[in-house]
Amino acid sequence: MQKEKVAEKIGYIGLGIMGKAMVENLAKAGHKINVYARRQVSVDALETNNIEAFSSPAALAEASNVIISCVSDTPDVEQVLVGPQGVIDGIQANSLVIDMSTISPESTQNMANQFSQAGASMLDAPVSGGEVGAIAATLSIMVGGAAEDFARATPIFECLGKNIIHVGASGAGQVAKACNNLVAAQTMVAVAEAYLLARSCDVDPAKVRDALLGGFAYSRVLELHGQRVLDENYVAGFKTKLHAKDLRIALKSAETKSIKMPGTELSDHYLQALLKQGDGELDSAAMAKVILENT
């Protein structure tokens, strides 16, 4: 007899820039979403009505069998998933937790073990593509965890992204994401240095960007952030404080593995300079501001 397919009851925690867009896309795909946000204003900002709000992650977990989190940093994920009144306090047997935040691979593995002991499972599924990709449902999703959990989550991922890769075991998605963010940060430094050189030689950086976009130096960073820099528009898609957090994760892993990443250290230096001057809420493309203004 064919096993009846049960529709997943999806719970979502964290309705920031990324979470809001992801919830809207899940709702567009026909899912009713259970949500938890620590501030009511974040729930009120949702455009869809096809939601039910819960007062704690534990209460949300009791009413859901797939629970997605997308909050800021490692301690935040630990708080909402395994802290007091966290998801683990309400988790149902065979539930699947999917953490789409960008956090430490080591902490991810610890939490996955805790959920396994509670009869549930966990995937790490950080994303790349920014707010634009989250809204357009074209995110790149890097997944760590068991193959059967990846298969279960794939129809959900397909509502959110396009490039969905099962990278490896628990934590592997977060390692891939650390790699992604160090490439993006170092590319941003290169774009800013290119503009600096162009400007110093009385050449229009906008024309340089146009020329580079059609050649080997093309990148999404040059295309999107390169334009932001020309417009001096640093309204956050991806906040400086979050990108700095991500490079810390990468540098911590490098330290643990006794490898050196001087390029990542240099880009971290620019992000830290922004944080010091109180610009943590600006888009991380503002690294170019430091390079262009202070060099």
Residues marked active site are found at: 177
**Minimum distance from residue 256 beta carbon to ligand NAP (Å):** 20
Using the minimum distance from each CB to ligand NAP, give the nearer residue, 88 or 208.
88
**Alpha-carbon torsion (27, 100, 102, 127), positive or negative:** negative
Of positions 130, 173, 226, 280, contacts ligand NAP by CB under 6 A? 130
Q: Which stretch binds ligand NAP (CB under 6 A): 71-79, 117-125, 152-160, 205-213?
A: 71-79
CB nearer to ligand NAP: pick between 89 and 131 = 131
Smallest distance, Å, CB 133 to ligand NAP? 8
Considering only residues 80 to 99 of the shown chain, the ones binding ligand NAP according to CB under 6 A are 80
**Amino acid letter for position 34:** N
Q: Is 171 in the site for ligand NAP (CB under 6 A)?
A: no
> Strand locations in the chain, DSSP E?
10-13, 33-36, 51-53, 66-69, 96-99, 121-124, 127-128, 139-144, 161-168
Strands 139-144 and 127-128, sheet pairing: antiparallel
76 binds ligand NAP (CB under 6 A): yes
CA proximity to 45, closest of 23, 28, 71, 69? 23
CA distance linking residue 168 with residue 104, whole number of Å: 16
Cβ at position 14, least distance to ligand NAP in Å: 4
Neighbours of 190 (CB within 10 A): 15
Nearer to ligand NAP, 208 or 271 (CB): 271
- Can residue 281 be called a binding residue for ligand NAP (CB under 6 A)? no
Kindly give, in sequence order, each residue whose CB lies less than 8 Å from that of residue 11, ignoring residues fewer than 6 positions away. 33, 34, 35, 36, 54, 60, 61, 63, 64, 66, 67, 68
Closest contact distance (angstroms) between CB of 186 and ligand NAP is 17
Q: What interhelical angle do 240-256 and 262-276 show, nearest 10?
A: 140
Look up tokens 């760590």; give the residue.
144
Angle at 249 between CA 272 and CA 77, to 5 degrees: 110
Q: Which is nearer to ligand NAP, 18 or 274 (CB)?
A: 18
Q: Does 161 bind ligand NAP (CB under 6 A)?
A: no
Judged by beta carbon, residue 17 or residue 63, the one nearer ligand NAP is 17
Q: Which stretch binds ligand NAP (CB under 6 A): 31-39, 84-92, 152-160, 212-220?
A: 31-39
Q: How many residues bind ligand NAP (CB under 6 A)?
A: 26
Q: Which of 10, 12, 19, 267 binds ligand NAP (CB under 6 A)?
A: 19
C-alpha span between 288 and 228 (Å, rounded): 10
131 binds ligand NAP per the rule CB under 6 A: yes
Minimum distance between the CB of residue 148 and ligand NAP, rounded to whole angstroms? 25
The label of the residue with tokens 């990108």 reads 243
* Cβ proximity to ligand NAP, 101 vs 107, nearer residue: 101
Tell me which residue of 29, 14, 166 sits closest to 87, measured CA to CA: 14
Can you give the binding site for ligand NAP, defined by CB under 6 A?
A: 14-19, 37-39, 42, 70-72, 76, 79-80, 101-102, 127-128, 130-131, 237-238, 242, 246
